Amino acid sequence: MSNFPQFNVLEEAILVEKPEKKEPLGVLFWICVGWIGLNIVGAIFANVLPIENPLFQNYSLVNAGPSLHHLFGTDDLGRDIFSRVVYGSRVSLSVGAGAMLIGFGVGAPLGMLAAFRRGRFDAILTNVMYVLLAFPAIIATIAILSFWTPRTLFKIIVVIGIASVPLVYRVIRTATLSVATKDFIVAAKVQGATDRRILLRELMPNIAPIAISFLLIGVATVIALEGALAFLGLSVNPPTPSWGNMINESRTILQMNPWLVIFPSAALCLFLLCLNFIGDRLRHHFDVTEVKL
Amino acid sequence: MLRYVLRRIVMLIAICFIISVGSFYLIHLLPGNITTVIEGPGASPENQAKLYKLLGLNKPIYQQYFVWIGNVLRGNLGTSFISQTSVASTIRAALPIDLEIMFLSQILAFATAIPIAMRSARKPDGWLDRTFSAGSFTLLSVPTFIVIVLMVLFISVKLGVPHTGPSSYVSFSQDWIGNLESLALPAVALAIGSFVVYYRVLRSDLIATLQEEFITMARSKGLSQRRIMWRHAFRPSSVALLGAAGVNIGGLLASGFVVQYLLNIPGLGYTLISAINMSDYLLVQGIVLVVSVGVVLINFIFDFIINIVDPRISRE
């Protein structure tokens, strides 16, 4: 996992200089939230929206530029690019959400437990995770997806999700460690609170801000990874549209139809930018700086 | 130091072992009869026998691993049943191209990121710092595969700059100037991705370092700004930079794959993707193994260099 392209950002995210006071979230933050929301709504309700069928091929209108009828134009098979971009967000969003669900579902509880219990459990688990972290995850993902055929969305989510577990584990563990030694945890222990109560009621709310901003950046990383896999033709099979495979299809006809690459690229980059921005703002807002990896 | 290095070597061996088990097991993820999937339904009995011998297929699975790893350690990764060439020689031909692209891009990235980060850190929140911080944050959200597609679209297709488009690759031994021209676009695309990371890491670390007391001390001694930056601030901060570079290698390699795929540059990435598309599984397995071990080795070397720059790390 250590080799996901944007990994350093996550690392850096926790090491930046400290702002003096609680920073306001700002207008841009809410614009980004709105954009993400719009994308999610679009992805969920794509088949109820009044847009063309993304698989419908209109051979009399091939490689057309943007017009009122086809907002983003049509591709080399006469399919409407706008509706393909809208439908394409489904793949990216499900990979982002699904993979992080697996990553956090497995990595976060393990990380919290390890940091809370310490001892041999922690030592063994952390060493195992470090070994896994050293493994070039992108290569592993490509390798597994190339052998584990046929490639389906479900398999892609599972492979990327599992690959993200060690990284989530490490971040959550270090975050928990920094909280677990604080006085109020000791106080809770002295009062005789159960482990379960301490983990859920004392530790969890305190690491939630870090976890959430990390989660958003993680979703962005995973979506970028799926895009790259789709670009290489290793994600969902055509004709199902996804932002990555639309860009892949466009690469041979760049000369004829530049719109086919520009719109899905813009959709993907804007989405990632908003996620990264929200994650970054939240981190500043909650002043997540004391944790050191 | 010695203890630290020994511990790292043990770890390295453990990781290589896990990688080898993983690469070995890949073949067993294939659905159906392995020989038919790999060699196709019309495979001759001799070829099937050869594959059986290479993979030790008639033995229990843990023994198969030892048969396979024995062959691998002797440099025998099998023979591709599609191109009839040995996997090892295909990899040997493709690997230098990957290394060259990575090398060029890293030179570009360091040569730009270090001076700009220093400038930025000298006046945090100045115009230069604001521009590059905002710019690099935006670029973080642009995956390399989009960078390279857009570069090809605007530079080689729209502007028509020669020797930059797809399939314009020239090998180094054939014509080294042409080779550099054809690798210019890939190198710049990868350099952008690395620059963003290096700039951000070095900038924030330098800002922190410049607030240390020994910097104030150096300033009050009347040392020049340049000397303080390079001799006093850069060395402690370079640890973070090297760390980022080490972590970056895997992603860089994958970006290299993407670039080769788009521009038809016959490096490992291009070979890997075409092998996947042609179901040339032994070649895929070989590339995966070599590349994974390579990344882990490079990471190990980076760890070692970091230790030399900052010996305190190994004492912890």
Nearest chain A residue (CA) to B249 = A3
Q: Are A103 and A109 in contact (CB under 8 A)?
A: no
Helix extents (H) in B210-263: 213-220, 225-227, 234-263
B26-32 contact pairs (CB < 8 A, 24+): B26/A143, B26/A144, B26/A147, B26/B281, B26/B284, B26/B285, B26/B288, B27/A147, B27/B55, B27/B281, B27/B285, B28/B61, B29/A144, B29/A147, B29/A148, B30/A147, B30/A149, B30/B281, B31/A149
> Nearest CB to B257: which of A135, A232, A269?
A232
One-letter amino acid of B198:
Y
Tokens 């993400």 correspond to what residue?
A36
Q: How many Cβ atoms from other residues are within 10 Å of residue A195's Cβ?
A: 11
| Nearest chain B residue to A223, by CA | B143
CA dihedral of A76, A79, A80, A86, whole degrees rounded to 10: -110
Per-residue model confidence as pLDDT tens for chain A (293 residues):
334 444 455 555 554 444 455 667 788 899 999 999 999 998 888 888 777 777 777 777 777 777 777 778 787 777 888 888 989 899 999 999 999 999 999 999 999 888 888 888 888 888 888 878 777 778 888 888 888 877 888 989 999 999 899 889 988 888 888 888 778 888 888 888 888 888 888 888 888 888 888 899 899 989 999 999 988 888 888 788 889 888 888 888 877 788 888 899 999 999 999 999 998 888 888 766 544 33
Q: Is the peptide bond before A54 cis (omega within 30 degrees of 0)?
A: no
Residue pair B282/B78 in contact (Cβ under 8 Å)? The answer is: yes
In angstroms, what separates the C-alpha of B290 from chain A's closest C-alpha?
Answer: 10
Interface residue of B11, B30, B140 to substitute, partner A, most A CBs within 10 Å: B140
What's residue A270's pLDDT? 93
Please calculate the CA angle A278-A279-A285 and round it to the nearest 5 degrees: 85
A272, B143: Cβ pair inside 8 Å? yes
Confidence at residue A1, expressed as pLDDT on a 0 to 100 scale: 39
- How distant is the Cα of B206 from the closest Cα of chain A, in angstroms? 11
| Cβ pair B26:A16 closer than 8 A | no
- Residue A98 has a pLDDT of 94
Q: Give the position of tokens 């200089």.
A: A17
CB contact under 8 A, B193 and A5: yes
pLDDT at A291: 43
**CA-to-CA distance for B274 and B194, rounded, in angstroms?**
26
Mean pLDDT of chain B: 84
DSSP string, B6-50: HHHHHHHHHHHHHHHHHHHHHGGGSSS-HHHHHH-TT--HHHHHH
Distance of residue A135 Cα from the nearest chain B Cα, in angstroms: 7
Between CA A123 and CA B39 the distance in angstroms is 45
Q: Provide the residue ranges of all domains of chain B, joining segments of one domain with +.
A: 2-73, 94-315
Query: Which range is least confidently modeled, A262-276, B74-88, B275-289?
Result: B74-88
**CA distance to partner chain B, nearest, from residue A265 (Å):** 6
Domain spans of chain A, in order of start: 18-47+89-285
SS3 state of residue B168: coil
Q: How far is CA A235 from CA A150, A244, B50, B121, in A?
A: 10, 8, 33, 41
Contact partners, residue B220, CB within 8 Å, separation at least 6: none
Instruction: Give residues with Cβ within 8 angstroms of B171, minimum separation 6.
Output: B179
- Which residue of chain B is at minimal alpha-carbon distance from A18? B208
What pTM, to 2 d.p., does this model score? Answer: 0.86
Question: Among partner residues A16, A135, A269, which is closest to B292 by beta-carbon distance?
Answer: A135
**pLDDT computed for residue A290 by the predictor:** 43
Backbone angles phi, psi at A291, to 5 degrees: -75, 130
For residue range B135-182, list pLDDT tens digits in order.
999 998 899 899 999 988 888 887 877 777 777 777 777 778 878 888
Q: Which of A192-196, B111-115, B271-275 has the lowest mean pLDDT?
A: A192-196
Classify domain B94-315 by CATH number.
1.10.3720.10
Least CA distance to A264: which residue of chain B?
B146
- Give B12's contacts (C-beta < 8 A, 6+ positions apart): B296, B297, B300
**Looking at residue B316, what is its pLDDT?**
56
CB B260 within 8 A of CB B100: no
Whether domain A18-47+89-285 has CATH 1.10.3720.10: the reply is: yes
Q: Which residues contact B161 (CB under 8 A, 6 or more apart)?
A: B155
